[in-house]
């Protein structure tokens, strides 16, 4: 509000000015938003069709349950050889999506809206969609070029010059990257690969949201052959799609996670081939990350999801992966921590449901938030952290960083069949609301939670028809949790022949 003129104050000498209006806090920097895997809409330039991200009710079910739903997404022979002009990433995801293991992929509308309140003009924000089927290195080169062009345009923008007149900040505008999940790996590579040697100096800061800097066990599950056990049709189709995708191989765990009883070690390219991946892609990814790992991100602030049950280790037996939530730890000298009998110690672990908390951190100082992987780019607590990072050099993090609930449920269910939803972190259902809402339908129903054992609540849930559903858990004291679930038909669907 504009303050009254000094001449209106009794007993004071008139002054020839008014106090200026209080200005909102904004950043003068250029912001680049980099989404996670499957967070960009993909378009086939040759057939003029959208391959991923169709704004059509039921498109997710058609993609995962129809015979040819994912066929156009498979990398062609030309694309595997580096000729990637067939597919264009046109924009960030506009509608909710779903994938086995990765589960719900929410649009980035809330994140972009929050960022828009902190910049001098909408043109200061660059969403960076990318073809997530390709390697991190390929997309990083594109990001470096686009970020440089974006900064050059913004520095010449009239809105920047106008905003600068209201601040005492005389430095040139720089870049701020806000990157979710795989987007953080791409940002890291763009700033450290040497494609633009000045880009690091022109970057004021990087905030990553649930980025798997050390990989994720879920990537190994995605690639797994599933020998010896039946798997639902969507999981089979994702495995077939991912087997030739460099992007999925770039997400494989690079920390000691392979449990061999009396020893724990990292996956090798031979292990990756054994579990269903591509040996050459795994070797190339390993070499790429070995080059990347020594280079820190400039002025980096990581946000790590916590309290969610998250896979962190695995066994590999005749090509079959069995993943577990426990983790292993090492002494300062790198030696595995063992009990008095020499058996490796197993510790409880958590994360955001996709990325365990240690993988989301490159250096000390990460901000822990009790949210799931997708919600780290959507939840209110995470968005407050992002906006604070944009307008202030120092970030203190959300008030609720050390507490919260965890949500665990299947990623794929069948309609009209009951399944269990588990809520960890409390055994008191008072004040907690859990709803099941259809994304493509008007279905909405409360799920009744009841205590089953220490610090756990459970609900029996069913949905009336195939489609995409959103589970939402709200509590008066913790951030809201959300997760998407795909319901298939109650008639069994068999995987296609390999």
| DSSP per-residue letters across 40-57 | EEEEETTTTEEEE---ST
Q: Using a CB cutoff of 8 Å and minimum separation of 24, what contacts does 51-54 make?
A: 51/87, 52/97, 53/93, 53/94, 53/95, 53/97, 54/95
Q: How far apart are CA 457 and CA 450, in angstroms?
A: 5
What pLDDT, on a 0 to 100 scale, did the predictor assign at position 2?
47
Q: What is the largest CA-CA distance in the chain?
A: 91
Residue linked to tokens 């999940």: 181
pLDDT (tens digit, 9 = 90+) per residue, 158-170? 999 988 887 766 7
What pLDDT, on a 0 to 100 scale, did the predictor assign at position 393?
63
What does residue 422 show for φ and ψ, rounded to 5 degrees? -120, 135
pLDDT (tens digit, 9 = 90+) per residue, 75-88? 999 999 899 999 99
What pLDDT, on a 0 to 100 scale, did the predictor assign at position 111?
97
CB 374 within 8 A of CB 103: yes
pLDDT (tens digit, 9 = 90+) per residue, 236-253? 899 999 999 999 999 999
Q: How far apart are CA 126 and CA 128, in angstroms?
A: 6
Least Cα distance to 136 among 354, 284, 324, 330 occurs for 284
- This prediction has a pTM of 0.89
What pLDDT, on a 0 to 100 scale, did the predictor assign at position 226?
61
Domain regions of the chain by residue span: 19-403, 405-489
CB 422 within 8 A of CB 457: yes
Q: How far apart are CA 202 and CA 30, in angstroms?
A: 10
What token pair was written down for 62? Answer: 């058609």
- What is the CB-side half-sphere exposure of residue 158 using CA atoms within 13 A? 0
What pLDDT, on a 0 to 100 scale, did the predictor assign at position 294?
86
405-489: what fold? Immunoglobulin-like (2.60.40)
What pLDDT, on a 0 to 100 scale, did the predictor assign at position 152?
98
Q: Which residues pair with 472 in a beta bridge?
A: 435, 482
What pLDDT, on a 0 to 100 scale, did the predictor assign at position 440?
84
CB 232 within 8 A of CB 65: no
What pLDDT, on a 0 to 100 scale, did the predictor assign at position 279?
97
- Cβ within 8 Å of residue 104, ≥6 positions away: 96, 97, 98, 374, 470, 482, 483, 484, 485
> Domain 19-403: which CATH class?
alpha beta
Q: What residue ranges of the chain have pLDDT lower than 70? A: 1-24, 57, 168-169, 225-230, 393-403, 454, 491-498
Instruction: Report the chain's terminal Cα–Cα distance, integer Å.
Output: 68
């Amino acid at each position: 509000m504009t303050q009254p003129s000094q001449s209106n104050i009794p007993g004071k000498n008139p002054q020839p000015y008014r106090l200026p209006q209080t200005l909102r806090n904004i950043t003068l920097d250029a912001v680049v938003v980099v989404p996670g895997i499957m967070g960009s809409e993909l378009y086939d330039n040759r057939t003029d069709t959208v391959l991923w991200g169709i704004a059509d009710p039921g498109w997710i079910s058609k993609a995962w349950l129809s015979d040819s739903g994912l066929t156009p997404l498979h990398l062609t022979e030309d694309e595997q050889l580096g000729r990637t002009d067939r597919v264009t990433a046109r924009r960030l995801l506009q509608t909710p999506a779903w994938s086995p293991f990765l589960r719900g992929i929410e649009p980035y509308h809330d994140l972009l809206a929050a960022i828009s309140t902190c910049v001098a003009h909408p043109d200061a924000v660059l969403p960076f969609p990318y073809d997530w089927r390709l390697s991190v290195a390929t997309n990083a080169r594109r990001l470096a070029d686009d970020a440089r062009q974006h900064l050059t345009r913004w520095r010449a923008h009239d809105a920047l010059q106008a905003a600068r007149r209201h601040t005492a900040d005389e430095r040139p505008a720089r870049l701020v990257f806000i990157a979710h999940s795989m987007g953080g790996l791409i940002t890291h590579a763009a700033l450290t690969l040497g494609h633009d040697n000045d880009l690091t100096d022109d970057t004021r800061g990087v905030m990553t949201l649930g980025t798997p800097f050390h990989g994720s066990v879920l990537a190994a599950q995605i690639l797994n052959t599933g020998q010896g056990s039946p798997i639902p049709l969507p999981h089979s189709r994702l495995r077939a799609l991912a087997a030739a995708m460099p992007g999925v191989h770039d997400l494989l765990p690079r920390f000691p996670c392979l449990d061999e009883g009396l020893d724990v070690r990292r996956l090798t390219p031979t292990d990756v081939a054994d579990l269903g991946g591509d040996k050459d892609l795994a070797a190339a990814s390993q070499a790429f990350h070995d080059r990347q790992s020594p280079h820190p991100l400039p002025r980096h602030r990581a946000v790590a999801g916590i309290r969610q049950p998250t896979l962190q280790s695995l066994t590999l037996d005749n090509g079959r992966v069995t993943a577990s939530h426990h983790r292993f730890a090492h002494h300062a000298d790198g030696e595995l921590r063992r009990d008095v009998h020499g058996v490796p110690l197993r510790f409880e672990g958590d994360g955001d449901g996709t990325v365990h908390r240690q993988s989301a951190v490159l250096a000390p100082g990460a901000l822990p938030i009790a949210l799931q992987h997708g919600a780290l780019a959507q939840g209110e607590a995470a968005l407050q952290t992002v906006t604070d990072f944009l307008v202030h050099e120092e970030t203190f993090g959300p008030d609720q960083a050390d507490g919260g609930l965890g949500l665990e449920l299947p990623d794929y269910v069948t309609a009209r069949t009951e399944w269990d939803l588990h809520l960890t972190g409390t055994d008191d259902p008072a004040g907690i609301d859990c709803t099941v809402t259809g994304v493509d339908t008007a279905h909405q129903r409360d799920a009744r939670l009841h205590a089953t054992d220490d610090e756990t609540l459970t609900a029996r849930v069913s949905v009336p028809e195939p489609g995409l559903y959103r589970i939402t858990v709200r509590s008066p004291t913790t951030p809201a949790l959300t997760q998407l679930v795909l319901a298939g038909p109650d008639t069994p669907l068999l995987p296609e022949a390999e």
